[in-house]
Amino acid sequence: MSLFDQFLVMAAIICSFSGCAAISMDRAVEAETVSAVAEPGYSDSDSPVGGTIYFDYDKYNLSASAVSEIRDLAKSIKSNSSKVRIEGHCDERGTREYNLALGERRANAVSELLQVNGVPSSSITTVSYGEERPVAYGSNESSWSKNRRAVVKLL
């Protein structure tokens, strides 16, 4: 193999690790999975969003970062005397009605922590949409993780 060929092979190997497609060699370019139906997901931002909290699969407990995020959110809500609407969501796995309940748990978890941080309960309404309003379509963890959320909307 000539020096040039060796160089090409090296470059190809390096490129294959970093995912670039610059070198034209017979190498399959990894394309992102394109969904058969290009469904636009629901947009959370039809009203101003104070914050979005994410959850693990089948869980409604708040992570440490979520806790601090909610604490900050509480401060700004109180200072603006805003009213908020917390919408709880799930990914598509599992049954729809059970997910409606799970979504409510998530919204309630955020609501309770806001109240602990001084936001009056009268300023908070919660609603669960279960798996009915995904922001991302796709049966993969990337989409699923984006959908497991509680969205705090400012009214």
Partner 1 sequence: MILRILTSLFIIYSSFLSSDLRIEITKGIEDPIRIAIVPIAWNLENPPREYLHQIISSDLESFGEFVSLSPKEMLSLPNSEQEIFYRDWKLLDVDYLVLGTASGGENAQEIVVNFSLFNVTRERLMKRSISVGSASYLNALAHIISDRIYNEINGLPGISSTKISYINQNSLPELKYFLRVADIDGRNDSSIFSSSEPLMSPSWSSDGKRLAYVSFEEGTSRIFIQEIYTGKRKGLKLERGINSSPNWSPSDKYLAAVLSKEGNPDIFRYDLENDKWKQLTDHFGIDTEPDWSPDGRKIIFTSNRSGSPQIYEMNVSNKKIRRKTFEGTYNARARYTPDGKSFVFVHRRDGLFHIAVQNLRTGKLQILTDTTLDESPTISPNGKVIIYATKDKEKDILAGISIDGKTRFILPTNSGGVREPSWSPLLVSTGN
Residue 98 binds partner 1 (CB under 8 A): yes
Shortest Cβ 81–partner 1 spacing (Å): 22
Q: Who contacts 43 (Cβ-Cβ below 8 Å, separation ≥6)?
A: 135
Among 11, 12, 49, 101, contact with partner 1 (rule: CB under 8 A): 101
Shortest Cβ 49–partner 1 spacing (Å): 16
Residue 30, classed as helix, strand or coil, is coil
Residue 50, classed as helix, strand or coil, is strand
- Site map for partner 1, 2-41, x if CB under 8 A? ---------------------------------xxx-xx-
Residue 153, classed as helix, strand or coil, is strand
Phi, psi (deg, nearest 5) at residue 115: -65, -40
Compute the distance between CA of residue 43 and CA of residue 26 in angstroms, rounded to an integer.
Answer: 40
Residue 102 binds partner 1 (CB under 8 A): yes
For partner 1, the closer of residues 69 and 144 by Cβ is 144
Which of these segments, 7-15, 17-25, 74-82, 134-142, binds partner 1 (CB under 8 A)?
A: 134-142
Number of residues located near partner 1, criterion CB under 8 A: 29
Phi/psi zone of residue 10: left (φ > 0), alpha (ψ -120 to 50 degrees), beta? Answer: alpha
